[in-house]
A = this chain, B = another copy of it.
């Protein structure tokens, strides 16, 4: 029998408590599956005296997570504090420098500092794992890093922010406007303290950048993710999309093309009969496409105590079993810097515009699109009201560059009463 694997856990919020519970309550199961005992040596959190619904007796307490991370009786530092910098990063760096393995759920830290942390881990002979940072309980990091490692990945897509998917599907099912459902989600405690992290696509963008790194062997490059939030989506967009056989999702897409790496996190239309289109509520979904395997779809809870703790435990169990993998699937020093590419993969687009109700307005818009090389697949004009006319256009496949060219030229036509909304239609 091997020695016990001793954890030091920093951060005792929902996820930290979930991890403590599993380690305490499922000790026999974990031991039978790993061949060794998994124990907790020490813990750390902002507040010491607080009933967390689980006994913490027998664990040493550290006020300072850096001290915790470097204790002699800690083999694995489990970082569940969150925050891209500050104590989380300091303690992670200290743990790695001391040769400790690190398991973290911290997507922001890895999205911003993944490359340097992975290099630090490797030069110390330690492993740094982060299954819980992306899509909660779904074993997506493992699937991509290991299960599909025989593939050249051709596209990774995902709905990875449950709050946004809740808002969008609730708008549709209840017929409510964005502002009202946003407030509802807020009341239910679904939103981050800074809601822009959710509805602005930042949180999901962090996750996409991590997936892209593994998929394409590139250095994490969150700053190159094209971010667009869901705040501009109206109930009318959702209804019109539904009417045409689509659903609107905050969708992350990463693709490596001849021009470089595309990383987009933006509201997209997807076919309502596709797995992504059928995804309701707060559930997450990741779609991985490989040259050998075709399309693999993974679906499950993206947040919450149990699902996230399950993912943390999978990394801990790997370490207990002696599995030692590079953070992003290959040595960090071999990851290539990203050449970012703006969306070059052509796609059809959905355009919503409000036309001035005057003769020739629609013709001017159609001409502007035509001059940018964009042809119209479907068009609908609605009944006039107060001097303006809503128009919806679905284009044939075009590039984002052509579309931008048309969008830039539109104001000069004076045909529009407000700025148009353009959403990509992603084949799913």
Interface residues of A (CB under 8 A from B): 18, 22, 26, 29-30, 32-35, 131, 137-139, 142-143, 146-152, 217, 275, 278, 290-301, 304, 306-307, 309-314, 316-318, 321-325, 329-331, 334
Contacts and interface: CB of A to CB of B under 8 A. Distances in A.
A148 B310 contact: yes
A68 B227 CA distance: 54
A292 B318 contact: no
A293 B310 contact: yes
A275 B275 CA distance: 8
B293 A137 contact: yes
A297 B140 CA distance: 12
Contacts of A299: 275, 296-299
B314 A150 contact: yes
Nearest to A142: B147
A30 B150 contact: yes
A154 B150 CA distance: 31
B137 A296 contact: yes
A315 to B, nearest CB: 9
Contacts of A131: 147
B317 A146 contact: yes
Nearest to A280: B273
Given A296-B298, A310-B292, A323-B323, A147 B151 contact: no
Contacts of A294: 137, 300-301, 304, 306-307
Nearest to A273: B278
Contacts of A314: 146-150
Contact of A292 (B34, B152, B309): B309
Contacts of A137: 148, 292-294, 296
A155 to B, nearest CB: 14
Report the copy number of this chain in the oligomer. Answer: 2
A26 B150 contact: yes
B306 A300 contact: no
Contact of A150 (B22, B217, B322): B22
A131 B330 CA distance: 21
A281 to B, nearest CB: 12
B139 A143 contact: yes
Nearest to A321: B325
Contacts of A142: 139, 142-143, 146-147
A198 B318 CA distance: 35
B292 A149 contact: no
Contacts of A295: 300-301
Contacts of A323: 146, 323, 325
A179 B180 CA distance: 54
By CB atoms of chain B within 10 A, which of A29, A147, A307 has the most?
Answer: A147
A147 B152 contact: no
B306 A292 contact: yes
Interface centre among A149, A291, A309, A334 (most CB of B within 10 A): A149
Interface hub of A295, A296, A322 (most chain B Cβ within 10 A): A296
Contacts of A30: 150
B138 A296 contact: yes
Nearest to A139: B147
B290 A310 contact: yes
A137 B290 CA distance: 10
A4 to B, nearest CB: 17
Given A32-B334, A138-B296, 15 more contacts: A22-B292, A29-B152, A131-B147, A139-B146, A139-B148, A139-B296, A146-B323, A291-B306, A292-B307, A292-B309, A292-B313, A293-B307, A295-B301, A297-B300, A298-B298
Nearest to A301: B294
Contacts of A151: 310
A323 B296 CA distance: 23
Q: Which of A18, A34, A137 counts the most chain B CB atoms within 10 A?
A: A137
Given A294-B307, A310-B292, A330 B150 contact: no
